[in-house]
Amino acid sequence: MGAVCFHSPKYHCELAGEGIEYSWGNAKYKYRRIKAANKKSKSDFHERVKECLSREFLDKERVRKNSRRAREYMAAYFILSIDNAAISAGL
């Protein structure tokens, strides 16, 4: 039929182009910067995690930057794949 089907790894968030892995990394970085004394108790731990995942920290601007970065990587990988296919074909 001439159709081409691309299969991506199942549940691979990088290929979605949404930048979720970068947002998760931002939240983890913020959590690691909090002093251990401020996250000792269970309730303090839960509050710090909520703080790191909040809309105040992961605001629209930060999420959009992360999405842009993911899309830029996707575009670069696509261009590399085209170049490699052209080299393989001898063009």
Secondary structure (DSSP) of 14-42: GGGTS-HHHHHHHHHHHHHTS-GGGG-SH
CA 53 → CA 41, 49, 84, distances in Å? 18, 6, 40
pLDDT band at 45 (very low <50, low <70, confident <90, very high): very high
Model pTM above 0.85: no
- The span from the CA of 10 to the CA of 40, in Å, is 37
- The span from the CA of 19 to the CA of 32, in Å, is 20
What average pLDDT does the segment 44-66 reach?
A: 95
What average pLDDT does the segment 41-52 reach?
A: 96
